[in-house]
Amino acid sequence: MRNLLLIGLILILSACQQTSMLKPKELVDDWIIDTTIVPTNRQCFTTLTKQHTKNTVFMLAAGANTGELTETTNDVETFSQTMQQHFNIPPNQICKLTNVFKAELENALHSLKQQVINGDKVIIYFSGHGGHIQDNNGDEKDGWDEALITYDIKGKDDDNVKESDVLRDDHFIAQVNKLTTAKVLTVMDTCFSSDMYLG
């Protein structure tokens, strides 16, 4: 199995609480609003061809305004603009998904895999809540996986939130490890993201 270098930069949001471990149905404590959310199906990197030169830079930036968070859209835009200017990334090599659903994030990672070749650079950013969910495969010493809280939970009460509504760290890392380049930077602007950078 190839080793990929994943560099993780972990930023802790002051709005996040770092007190309790969360069970799946506790992921949304006090984060509920009374609206109906309809999942979207936005696509990324679908207009590109795989014919590009080595060292091309791709960026996937996503966020989800859940709970008390209201500025993840601004975070995604600011981060994207900064990286675009610094790395001179063409707009068609950037995917921005605000209020992202889990399936959209997974599909974007899959589409990214279809485009990236060895030697390319990939930047992946997520702004939103993170949480702990009980480990399901015994790979966590503390018994808890980390999870990205996507927009799937918006409008759901505690009894209706499912484990499938969040992106478990194991699945995220597996998707990133499928990229055919070792030059990957992940930036997690969430709580509880300490294992998200390990490959």
**pLDDT exceeds cutoff 50 at 19:** no
Structure confidence at residue 194 as a pLDDT band (50, 70, 90): low
39-83 per-position pLDDT tens digit: 677 888 877 666 777 789 999 999 999 888 899 999 999 999 999
For residue 145, give its domain range: 6-12+52-189
Query: Count of H helices and E strands in the chain?
Result: 3, 8
Mean per-residue pLDDT, 116-142 = 88
pLDDT score recorded for residue 30: 41
Q: Is 46 part of any domain?
A: no
* Exposure on the CB side of residue 150, measured as CA atoms within 13 A: 21
pLDDT score recorded for residue 5: 31
Q: Is 35 part of any domain?
A: no
pLDDT score recorded for residue 140: 77
pLDDT score recorded for residue 142: 79
**pLDDT exceeds cutoff 50 at 169:** yes
Euclidean distance between CA atoms 140 and 152, whole angstroms: 25
State the average pLDDT for the chain: 77
Q: In CATH, what number is assigned to the domain containing residue 113?
A: 3.40.50.1460
How many domains does the chain fold into? Answer: 1
| pTM (2 d.p.) | 0.78
DSSP state of 182: S
Q: Which long-range contacts (CB under 8 A, 24 or more apart) does 83-88 make?
A: 83/59, 83/123, 83/125, 84/59, 87/57, 87/59, 87/121, 87/123, 88/57
- Give Dmax over CA atoms of the chain in angstroms: 49
pLDDT score recorded for residue 112: 93
Q: Is 89 part of any domain?
A: yes
130-134, strands of its sheet edge to edge: 130-134, 144-149, 166-168
Is 174 within 8 Å of 198 (Cβ atoms)?
A: no
